[in-house]
């Protein structure tokens, strides 16, 4: 049974569902550069908890205004004067949201522009594909603010760029942008035009795959990274047993066999 997802309940996220199953989720606090306050985190938890059961086939995650996301809401944090335990629990909500994204089984394409910094980079790194435009830049300014990462950068950003670069970014506030950011793995695509348009195109492509294949790609790969090689190989075989025998795939295999399916060719 498909879960109902009432988009009208969201205040800090603008959510638009398209007929082809692609949903566009936009961080919608442009006057605050889409800084992540505690309410936005709760909305991310809510949306990404329900999306896998709501018939969502792919998600584009974007930011309104000129910047994708300025990270932790520093003003809220300053004013709340949180206790260590309070902030720990808040970080656990960030992890809840970002783990639902990474392990949820629905492809998420982040459309990046402007600042993708601090917690904004942590959010982007929980997506499966990152597309940047010419304005996009990445940084981890926590060190300069007297803070430390709390939304998974030690894991996900380190996975993307490696430990030495991650530590350098945190110690020195180093900014990466342009082709160099792609070469390092912070984004997989850079566009001359709008990253939103490019992300939509990728999402539409991914949405054409069978949902169970996408579930495996956008869930099992991450889980397997957390396992020993032996266990990962075992889990891969089990997952392939389920996915590669799904009845919905038979028509696609038949199309290959009768030569009506597209062949894989080099880019022209």
Instruction: Identify which of residues 115 and 198 has a Cβ nearer to ligand 1HE in the complex.
Output: 115
User: In the beta sheet, which residues pair with residue 132?
Assistant: 190
Q: Of 21, 105, 150, 211, which one interacts with ligand 1HE (CB under 6 A)? A: 150
67 interacts with ligand 1HE by CB under 6 A: yes
Considering the rule CB under 6 A, would residue 75 count as an interface residue with ligand 1HE?
yes
- Asked if residues 67 and 38 have their Cβ atoms less than 8 Å apart, the reply is no
Q: Pick from 141, 186, 198, 202 the residue near ligand 1HE by CB under 6 A.
A: 141
Q: How far is the CB of 153 from ligand 1HE (least distance, A)?
A: 8
Nearer to ligand 1HE, 44 or 218 (CB): 44
| 86 vs 243: CA distance, rounded Å | 41
Q: Out of 68, 94, 138, 215, point to the residue binding ligand 1HE (CB under 6 A).
A: 94
| Cα atoms in the 13 Å half-sphere on the side-chain side of 249 | 14
- Residue showing tokens 């300053």: 78
Binding to ligand 1HE by residue 119, rule CB under 6 A?
yes
Instruction: Single out the catalytic residue among 76, 122, 180, 248.
Output: 122
CB of 121 to ligand 1HE, least distance (A): 8
DSSP letter (8 states) at residue 226: T
Residue 245 CB partners (closer than 8 Å, separation 6+):
none
What's the rounded Cα separation, in Å, for the pair 99 and 152?
Answer: 9
Residue numbers 17-56 binding ligand 1HE by CB under 6 A:
31-33, 35
| Interface with ligand 1HE, residue 130, by CB under 6 A | no
3-state secondary structure 170-210: HHHCCCEEHHHHHHHCCCCEECCCCHHHHHHHHHHHHHCCC
Nearer to ligand 1HE, 104 or 151 (CB): 151
Cβ neighbour number for residue 75 with a 10 Å cutoff = 11
Closer to ligand 1HE by Cβ: residue 67 or 128: 67
Least separation in angstroms between CB 195 and ligand 1HE: 17
Cβ neighbour number for residue 209 with a 10 Å cutoff: 16
Which of 66, 226, 41, 241 lies closest to 150, judged by CA?
Answer: 41
Q: Residue 142 catalytic?
A: yes
Cite the active site residues.
Answer: 122, 142
* Binding-site ranges for ligand 1HE (CB under 6 A): 31-33, 35, 67, 70-75, 91, 94, 115, 117-119, 141-142, 145, 147, 149-151
């Amino acid at each position: 049974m498909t879960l109902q997802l009432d988009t009208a309940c969201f205040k800090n996220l603008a959510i638009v569902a398209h007929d082809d199953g692609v949903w566009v989720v936009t961080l919608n606090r442009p006057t605050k550069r889409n800084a992540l306050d505690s309410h936005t985190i709760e909305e991310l938890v809510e949306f990404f908890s329900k999306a896998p059961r709501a018939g969502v086939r792919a998600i584009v995650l974007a930011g309104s205004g000129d910047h994708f996301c300025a990270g932790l809401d520093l003003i809220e944090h300053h004013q709340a004067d949180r206790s260590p335990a309070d902030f720990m629990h808040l970080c656990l909500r960030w992890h809840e949201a970002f783990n639902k994204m990474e392990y949820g089984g629905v492809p998420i394409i982040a459309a990046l522009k402007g600042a993708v910094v601090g917690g904004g980079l942590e959010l982007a790194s929980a997506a499966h594909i990152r597309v940047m435009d010419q304005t996009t830049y990445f940084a981890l300014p926590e060190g300069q603010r007297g803070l430390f990462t709390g939304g998974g950068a030690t894991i996900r950003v380190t996975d993307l760029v490696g430990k030495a670069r991650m530590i350098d970014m945190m110690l020195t506030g180093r900014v990466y942008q342009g082709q160099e950011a792609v070469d390092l793995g912070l984004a997989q695509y850079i566009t001359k035009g709008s990253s939103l348009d490019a992300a939509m195109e990728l999402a539409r492509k991914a949405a054409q795959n069978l949902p169970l294949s996408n579930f495996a790609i956008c869930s099992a790969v991450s889980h397997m990274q957390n396992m020993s090689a032996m266990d990962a190989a075992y889990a891969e075989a089990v997952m392939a047993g389920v996915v590669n025998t799904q009845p919905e795939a038979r028509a696609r295999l038949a199309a290959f066999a009768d030569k009506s399916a597209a062949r894989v060719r080099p880019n022209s």
